[in-house]
Structure 1
Amino acid sequence: MIKERELPLLPLRGILVFPYMVIHLDVGRERSMAAIEEAMLSDRIILLTSQRETEIDSPNPSDLYTTGTVAEIKQLLKLPGGTMRVLVEGISRGRVLEFLEEEPYFKVRIEELPEEKIPLTPEIETLIRSMTHQFEDYAKLGKRVPLETLGTVLAVEEPGQLADIVASHLNLKVPDKQTILEAMEVNLRLERLTELIMREIEILELERRIGQRVRKQMDKAQKEYYLREQMKAIQKELGDKDERLVEAEEYREKVSKAKCPKEVEQKALKEIERLEKMPPSSAEGTVVRTYLDWLLVLPWTKSSKDKIDLKKAEDILNEDHYGLEKIKERILEFLAIRKLTPKMKSPILCLVGPPGVGKTSLAKSISRALDRKFVRMSLGGLRDEAEIRGHRRTYIGALPGRIIQGVRTAGTRNSVFLLDEIDKMTSDFRGDPASALLEVLDPEQNSTFTDHYLEVPFDLSQTLFVLTANTLHTIPRPLLDRMEVITLSGYTEDEKVNIAKRYLVPKQMEAHGLKKEVLTLDDEVLLKLVQGYTRESGVRTLERQVANLCRKIAVRWVKKEWEPHTLTVEDLESALGAPRYHFQVAAKAPEIGAVTGLAYTEVGGVVLTVEVTPLPGKGRLTLTGQLGDVMKESAQAAWTFVRAHAVQLGIEEDFYDRTDLHIHVPEGATPKDGPSAGVTMATAMASAIAQRSVRSDLAMTGEITLRGNVLPIGGVKEKVLAAHRAGIKVVLLPEENRKDLEDVPENVRKIMEFHFVSRIEEVLNLALLPLAHSDEVPGDVAAHAVYGQKGIPVEETRPEERPVVS
């Protein structure tokens, strides 16, 4: 029977009390203790309701559930510290109708909802039977309900009372228990309770499976630990040590301290287990030990911290190298982006240029600017793929590849790794090392580089690879595609003088024990040293000549035959002998059939003279001078053009019926190839057959077509610098190479004259002197067309009218 009454309310945190439930409660809040004291002064009846949130210390009415349990206080005990312990027993459900007071305690008006007896219908009986079966399974799995308690609970016959008692023994959250408490109808209460028990059973089953798996692993580890400790104890008692076990334990300790990736750690532990089972004298044991030593010594996670100070880096680059502005700018760009995005993948830089221009030393400067470890690996003559990827451990004496060896030498995984002379690699039956390098030099792949020896991936994405090469045409295209190519051209004479003054002379004087006051070299002497004793793109020969000079002066100084003073040109020739090279290497006077061409080789730009001599014959073309196929084809194309335009050149149309041509390029022992000698050969042929002299102060380069078009070529800067070193005053370049003139140093552009041509007729007009003036001074070109009356006249061009590009 429902009846209303006024009761003090005791809010509960994290707990819910059901009817028929007896429980101890510890009370410490002032309002709660005041409510208990009020109940004790009347009939000991109090309403117990749960808080919605356990974190709230001073709840409001809205923070409490409105359905609770009317309970009787059976016992009260005051504890030290001002708290109480009460023993309460649930009587019936109660629903809060109104909060009458909130201070000093909650006082509410409720309606009490006593449990009514209901008849046992088939539906109720089925729900009870299902619920009891589930509860038995729960008790067996959870082992939280003693068997005697289980028997007592299941002996209750009243369905509503049974449901409340079962719910009180379940390990449920307060919201779930509250749904049971709020279910006034018995059948609904039983259904909800059955669902909750089934859910708890699933959770217990999962916990049991996880527990068994974890226990099994722990048991195995404990068993191994226990057995090892037993073996140690036995060996200690016997005074005998098993070297294999001691060694295995040492390796396990190293693995635990190495901070390796999980995959590497598993691999190492597996190899340690193998080592334990091997006899001490086994050859396989040595292989495993070496492998473990390699695994544990590599810097899997160790990185050096980049000290990115752009000003300091710029100072270091300027201190180590003179010139090379574009290269320095690119390095500073990389450092700036590295500072903004530290996790950026490192680029693959390829420095291309002739020997002696500072490629290797530039890589060292990058390492110094970044404050990283520096590793160098030479690829010259490398032909075995295993040198890159390592040998498989099936081979005797197997080792990791030189990439992993270099990483070990550096001790960090973000070193500056120099791969020197990448254009000198070869391949044979043992494999293609260039293809093996594809994985190393691909920023998308090298984060999982796998060495054949290690058999586990190593992250190379943080390593800054710098490559050097003298030329690009010998590097495979797929490999070249993965690089960022930075070209280093040859130095001008002015740059060489500055490099010698700033770096080479102080370095060699210190190496030879000469003080500054003993020997002084001014710019004039250094320029003479550059022009007369060296002929190169770089500065290696220059450094050797400076060292040679220092040795000569050192001998005279020791013999007291040298008085300290500024070295003169006469002193230079006295010490080093007569100059080996002459500044003016171009022809002194115009010649017939000899044209100065420009070529680009591995040592930079060079000047080549193409000589053509006509001979009596039947139109045969002879080529000598170690010419490559491309150069031979250029000669053939030039020969065909001259034959096709014989009339325009003022030559008899059937001259080839009685004339052979011999084309020779001096330095016959040096192989030469490339298409850029086409215009040079055509001009030399036209000069030889038409008996017209060629200007001696002029050089040219360009590819020719059968129709007479001049096509662009490469290496403009290097070729122009070579012409500048040779004393050439006028250079003919293809029209499409006009943009490349920006790369030529400004001081060279100012003192040289450049003409851009698109047709061979323009070349011939500028290069060939008129027949009547063949013996005149170079450059004194007559003011009439080169071609005869039958040909297409070309616009007359006087020297003062020629465009000069500066």
Structure 2
Amino acid sequence: MSDENKVLPLLPLRGLIVFPTMVLHLDVGRDKSIQALETAMVDNREIFLTAQKDVSTDEPSREELHEVGTVAKVNQMLKLPNGTIRVLVEGLHRAQVEELTEQETYTQAEVTHVEERQEATVEEQALMRNLLDQFEEYLKLSKNITRETFESVTDIVEPGRMADIITSHLPLKVPQKQEVLDTFHVKERLELVLKTLTNEREVLGLERKIGQQVKRSMEKSQKEYYLREQMKAIQNELGEKESKESEMDDLRKRIKEAEMPESVEEKALKELKRYEKMPPSSAESSVIRNYVEWLVVIPWHNVTEDVLDIHRSEKILDEDHYGLEKVKERVLEYLAVQELTNELKGPILCLTGPPGVGKTSLARSVARSLNRKFVRMSLGGVRDEAEIRGHRRTYVGAMPGRIIQGMKKAGSMNPVFLLDEIDKLVHDFRGDPSASLLEVLDPEQNNTFSDHFIEEPYDLSKVMFITTANNVGAIPPPLRDRMELIHIPGYTEVEKKEIAKRYLLPKQVKEHGLTKGKLQIKDEAILKVVRRYTREAGVRNLERELAKICRKAAKLIVSGEKKRVIVTDKTIEELLGRPTYRYGKAETKNQIGTATGLAYTAAGGDTLNIEVSLYPGKGKLLLTGKLGDVMKESAQAAFSYIRAKSEELNIDPQFNEKNDIHIHVPEGAVPKDGPSAGITIATALISALTNRPVRREVGMTGEITLRGRVLPIGGLKEKSMSAHRAGLTHIIIPEENEKDLEDIPDSVRDDLTFIPVAHLDEVLKVALTEEDDES
């Protein structure tokens, strides 16, 4: 650095760096800058140029100016019409500010001249060659620098000047160029410029690569646009209005409107993009189209609003169904909780019972009472797991499972979904569909149900599932564990009569073109149809018989034989023929060795006469009447109890060695089984052995132990109805069944006397009499 100091006018530069030996034009507009130029022109034309740190400052202080600048010579000055001055300056050498002095009209700077070595060392020569090579490579990528510029740079022998000139041609920011200007040491300056140039070359290369990619992409999109426009024109000429493009737009719009979860929408758009690129003739094209269509039509967001009015729902259930109080109560409980919480996972109800009791129609009524959509899916004979979970898309003709199909049919996420005949599922080598239903019917899992075709989790937690079954034992235990079982045992005669009057008969009269005035069926006639022409737990056959009456009546009216048909219990046989069934009736007098039991069958209740006969023999016990294993064991238990208690019962202890005993239950062609005939068999045996008659008006039901205890039974309601129908007045029941009396209709309970017992001794006191009516 030279010791020679100069005092020169200062010209601050905005966004610009002037290097030594550079020649360039500057436009000067600030008053102080113009005064500095004029002062320089008066003296020796030299001026000090340095860059501002902040370009927005009009009057920069020393702290806002860079310390190192360039002493330049003003070669030309030209006043422009707008008041600014254009000057041509030539950089002479580096200089560093020592002191700034404010004059009246401009700023004066005292600067120190920075001298540079002109000759290059060997190391600097190597750096210069490397720098030239990099500059040449940069030149190939850049369009802003001409070849002539490069050739002029190659002629430079001074290392510092070469670094300055190359820097001046690079598109660098002011701080980067100032850093080069601040570097006085020539070797360090060469290394800095080489590093900067290398980095710029890499950036320019990457920029060019990106530009080429964008250009290719634009060319491709332009080409595709051109081809699409051509295709549209060709299709319009051929009369094919619908193009794949409009189809794509429609699908894209439907995907947006479906309000899918984010992950599902992303998958749908991705598949749509694949579909767009595929030719229509491709086999996979139709598979993808079908998949996207399914994603669009499945309800992902739609929910029907529940009508949470418990009184309205109760009214609807009572309108559609007579009886079934427990089921109605459970549905109303669900509604009550829903009304309080506004959010409840759908319960899994399983309605069990014989065919024809109204399980399916009840589920439909539940949907109507909730104002929900109703979907029914029959599981009878389903043996393939794919029926539930769907097929994978790799298979030809793949489709979603019937659960997803049902949800599409419902169009909402909270329908009432009926899974009918769940006990009829079949499993074989193709899979176990009941295992697939575990995820559907488990409230903890079904919010992320996975269908093999859809491949995305689907929320079933808002669905109210109702299942039906005839035989609970046929439902797999894990599946049964996830359901709330509600048993519908069947209808009593009184209930069947009311159902016929309220629902079945009006329906059949309407379907057969009749009116209430043309056909009238008396209550006694309906009751006779129930008792003598049908034997079932439900009402299907009853409806068929009523339809038969309507047909016969229609024929009589159309033929002109009658204008109005009135059906009574006396005239019913003219329309339906001879009765099909008979029912048990009470004995007309007390008899020895005959007791009346009560049985529960799939068709309701019935009475069961058990007869015992003794004759000389060796103690053989003969059981007839097509008895099942349970009834045979009941007879064995009763026989063993009597042998053990023979002295207390005043029976000959050797009776089993002197007599053969024959126990018979009439109607031998009808299979009979069940654990409730023990006390009836024991009573009939003791009556025969003690020669004491059994009271004819007494019926009984209950199982017996070897110690004489009476065990509880099921189906008390149906058994009581059969006893009432048969004309019995007293019913012996197990003591533990006393709680079930509230289920029995009042009309039946008022006519019967129920006698709860805990031991066989109590049964004998009520059932046996000292009178001998046989005489």
Query: What's the TM-score, normalizing by structure 2?
Result: 0.66
Partner amino acid, structure 2, of 1:338: Q
Pairwise CA distance, 1:750? 0.9
Instruction: Give the match for residue 560 of structure 1.
Output: 560
1:355-384: CA deviation from partner (whole Å, max 9, x where unpaired): 333222221111112222111222334444
Q: Secondary structure at the match of 2:676?
A: helix
Q: Which moved more, 1:252-261 or 1:700-709?
A: 252-261
> Given the superposition, is the C-alpha separation of residues 224 and 337 from structure 1 closer, same or farther in structure 2, using an over 3 Å criterion?
farther
Instruction: Give the match for residue 443 of structure 1.
Output: 443
Task: Output the CA distance in 2 between the equivalents of 1:542 and 1:666.
Answer: 26
Task: Output the CA distance in 1 between the equivalents of 2:708 and 2:722.
Answer: 26
Pairing 1:758–2:751 present = no
1:595-632: CA deviation from partner (whole Å, max 9, x where unpaired): 33333344333444444445665545455555444444
> Given the superposition, is the C-alpha separation of residues 616 and 514 from structure 1 closer, same or farther in structure 2, using an over 3 Å criterion?
same
> Given the superposition, is the C-alpha separation of residues 250 and 518 from structure 1 closer, same or farther in structure 2, using an over 3 Å criterion?
closer
> Given the superposition, is the C-alpha separation of residues 692 and 477 from structure 1 closer, same or farther in structure 2, using an over 3 Å criterion?
farther
Could you tell me whether the CA contact under 8 Å between 2:491 and 2:604 is conserved in 1?
no
Pairwise CA distance, 1:714? 2.4
> Given the superposition, is the C-alpha separation of residues 584 and 658 from structure 1 closer, same or farther in structure 2, using an over 3 Å criterion?
closer
Pairing 1:775–2:768 present = no
Task: Output the CA distance in 2 between the equivalents of 1:614 and 1:390.
Answer: 66
> Given the superposition, is the C-alpha separation of residues 462 and 604 from structure 1 closer, same or farther in structure 2, using an over 3 Å criterion?
farther
Task: Output the CA distance in 1 between the equivalents of 2:257 and 2:673.
Answer: 59
1:756-802: CA deviation from partner (whole Å, max 9, x where unpaired): 111122223323344x52538xxxxxxxxxxxxxxxxxxxxxxxxxx
Instruction: Give the match for residue 598 of structure 2.
Output: 598
Instruction: Give the match for residue 674 of structure 1.
Output: 674
Q: Please give the residue correspondences for 1:535-550 in structure 2 after superposition, counting only pairs within 5 Å.
A: 535-550=535-550
Task: Output the CA distance in 1 between the equivalents of 2:433 and 2:684.
Answer: 44
Could you tell me whether the CA contact under 8 Å between 1:687 and 1:693 is conserved in 2?
yes
Q: Secondary structure at the match of 2:750?
A: helix
Instruction: Give the match for residue 371 of structure 1.
Output: 371
Pairwise CA distance, 1:512? 0.9
Task: Output the CA distance in 2 between the equivalents of 1:403 and 1:362.
Answer: 21
Task: Output the CA distance in 1 between the equivalents of 2:182 and 2:718.
Answer: 105
> Given the superposition, is the C-alpha separation of residues 561 and 760 from structure 1 closer, same or farther in structure 2, using an over 3 Å criterion?
same
1:512-544: CA deviation from partner (whole Å, max 9, x where unpaired): 111222123343443444444344433333322
Instruction: Give the match for residue 148 of structure 1.
Output: 174
Task: Output the CA distance in 1 between the equivalents of 2:222 and 2:342.
Answer: 47
Could you tell me whether the CA contact under 8 Å between 2:595 and 2:611 is conserved in 1?
yes
Task: Output the CA distance in 1 between the equivalents of 2:268 and 2:617.
Answer: 79
Could you tell me whether the CA contact under 8 Å between 2:378 and 2:420 is conserved in 1?
yes
Partner amino acid, structure 2, of 1:519: L
> Given the superposition, is the C-alpha separation of residues 86 and 235 from structure 1 closer, same or farther in structure 2, using an over 3 Å criterion?
closer
> Given the superposition, is the C-alpha separation of residues 293 and 439 from structure 1 closer, same or farther in structure 2, using an over 3 Å criterion?
same
Partner amino acid, structure 2, of 1:482: R
Instruction: Give the match for residue 75 of structure 2.
Output: none
Instruction: Give the match for residue 520 of structure 1.
Output: 520
Pairwise CA distance, 1:739? 0.9
Pairwise CA distance, 1:557? 0.9
Pairing 1:706–2:706 present = yes
Q: Please give the residue correspondences for 1:441-480 in structure 2 after superposition, counting only pairs within 5 Å.
A: 441-480=441-480
Query: What's the TM-score, normalizing by structure 1?
Result: 0.64
1:177-214: CA deviation from partner (whole Å, max 9, x where unpaired): xxxxxxxxxxxxxxxxxxxxxxxxxxxxxxxxxxx9xx
Q: Please give the residue correspondences for 1:35-54 in structure 2 after superposition, counting only pairs within 5 Å.
A: none
Task: Output the CA distance in 2 between the equivalents of 1:529 and 1:756.
Answer: 33
Task: Output the CA distance in 1 between the equivalents of 2:372 and 2:629.
Answer: 46
Pairing 1:303–2:296 present = no
Task: Output the CA distance in 1 between the equivalents of 2:229 and 2:247.
Answer: 16
Partner amino acid, structure 2, of 1:483: M
Q: Secondary structure at the match of 1:552?
A: helix
> Given the superposition, is the C-alpha separation of residues 452 and 734 from structure 1 closer, same or farther in structure 2, using an over 3 Å criterion?
farther
Structure 1 residue runs of 5 or longer lacking an equivalent are: 1-19, 23-84, 93-144, 158-211, 777-806
Could you tell me whether the CA contact under 8 Å between 1:470 and 1:602 is conserved in 2?
no
Query: Aligned match of 1:234 in 227, 230, 239?
Result: 227
Instruction: Give the match for residue 347 of structure 1.
Output: 347
Could you tell me whether the CA contact under 8 Å between 1:354 and 1:604 is conserved in 2?
no
> Given the superposition, is the C-alpha separation of residues 740 and 472 from structure 1 closer, same or farther in structure 2, using an over 3 Å criterion?
farther
Q: Please give the residue correspondences for 1:557-596 in structure 2 after superposition, counting only pairs within 5 Å.
A: 557-564=557-564, 566-581=566-581, 585-596=585-596
Task: Output the CA distance in 2 between the equivalents of 1:490 and 1:371.
Answer: 27
Could you tell me whether the CA contact under 8 Å between 1:490 and 1:721 is conserved in 2?
no
Could you tell me whether the CA contact under 8 Å between 2:610 and 2:681 is conserved in 1?
yes
Q: Secondary structure at the match of 2:597?
A: strand
Could you tell me whether the CA contact under 8 Å between 2:302 and 2:413 is conserved in 1?
yes
Could you tell me whether the CA contact under 8 Å between 1:595 and 1:611 is conserved in 2?
yes
1:441-486: CA deviation from partner (whole Å, max 9, x where unpaired): 2222221222333333221111111222344343343333322233
> Given the superposition, is the C-alpha separation of residues 517 and 652 from structure 1 closer, same or farther in structure 2, using an over 3 Å criterion?
same
Partner amino acid, structure 2, of 1:231: E
Q: Secondary structure at the match of 1:694?
A: coil
Pairwise CA distance, 1:288? 4.4
Pairwise CA distance, 1:224? 8.2
Could you tell me whether the CA contact under 8 Å between 2:730 and 2:754 is conserved in 1?
yes
Pairwise CA distance, 1:558? 1.1
Could you tell me whether the CA contact under 8 Å between 2:532 and 2:582 is conserved in 1?
yes
Task: Output the CA distance in 2 between the equivalents of 1:620 and 1:745.
Answer: 44
Q: Secondary structure at the match of 1:718?
A: helix
Instruction: Give the match for residue 494 of structure 2.
Output: 494
Pairwise CA distance, 1:491? 3.2
Pairing 1:733–2:759 present = no
Q: Which moved more, 1:599-608 or 1:727-736?
A: 599-608
Pairwise CA distance, 1:662? 4.6
Could you tell me whether the CA contact under 8 Å between 2:590 and 2:772 is conserved in 1?
no
Could you tell me whether the CA contact under 8 Å between 1:244 and 1:275 is conserved in 2?
no
Instruction: Give the match for residue 637 of structure 2.
Output: 637
Partner amino acid, structure 1, of 2:737: N
Instruction: Give the match for residue 265 of structure 1.
Output: 265
Structure 2 residue runs of 5 or longer lacking an equivalent are: 1-11, 15-55, 64-170, 184-205, 236-241
Q: Please give the residue correspondences for 1:26-425 in structure 2 after superposition, counting only pairs within 5 Å.
A: 147-149=173-175, 227=220, 230-237=223-230, 254-269=254-269, 271-272=271-272, 286-393=286-393, 395-425=395-425
Task: Output the CA distance in 2 between the equivalents of 1:325 and 1:222.
Answer: 76
Could you tell me whether the CA contact under 8 Å between 1:702 and 1:713 is conserved in 2?
yes
* Identical-residue share of aligned pairs (%): 53
> Given the superposition, is the C-alpha separation of residues 553 and 746 from structure 1 closer, same or farther in structure 2, using an over 3 Å criterion?
same
Could you tell me whether the CA contact under 8 Å between 1:317 and 1:365 is conserved in 2?
yes
Task: Output the CA distance in 1 between the equivalents of 2:667 and 2:397.
Answer: 47
> Given the superposition, is the C-alpha separation of residues 507 and 626 from structure 1 closer, same or farther in structure 2, using an over 3 Å criterion?
same
Task: Output the CA distance in 2 between the equivalents of 1:221 and 1:412.
Answer: 45
If you compute each CA radius of gyration, which structure gives the higher value, 1 or 2? Answer: 2
Partner amino acid, structure 2, of 1:147: K
1:253-307: CA deviation from partner (whole Å, max 9, x where unpaired): 5444433223433444555566578775565555544444333322122222223
Partner amino acid, structure 1, of 2:742: E
Task: Output the CA distance in 1 between the equivalents of 2:719 and 2:323.
Answer: 19
Task: Output the CA distance in 2 between the equivalents of 1:246 and 1:221.
Answer: 27
> Given the superposition, is the C-alpha separation of residues 651 and 366 from structure 1 closer, same or farther in structure 2, using an over 3 Å criterion?
same
Pairwise CA distance, 1:510? 0.9
Q: Please give the residue correspondences for 1:504-519 in structure 2 after superposition, counting only pairs within 5 Å.
A: 504-519=504-519
Task: Output the CA distance in 1 between the equivalents of 2:489 and 2:377.
Answer: 23
Pairwise CA distance, 1:503? 1.9
Could you tell me whether the CA contact under 8 Å between 2:258 and 2:301 is conserved in 1?
no
Task: Output the CA distance in 2 between the equivalents of 1:480 and 1:222.
Answer: 65
Could you tell me whether the CA contact under 8 Å between 1:584 and 1:727 is conserved in 2?
no
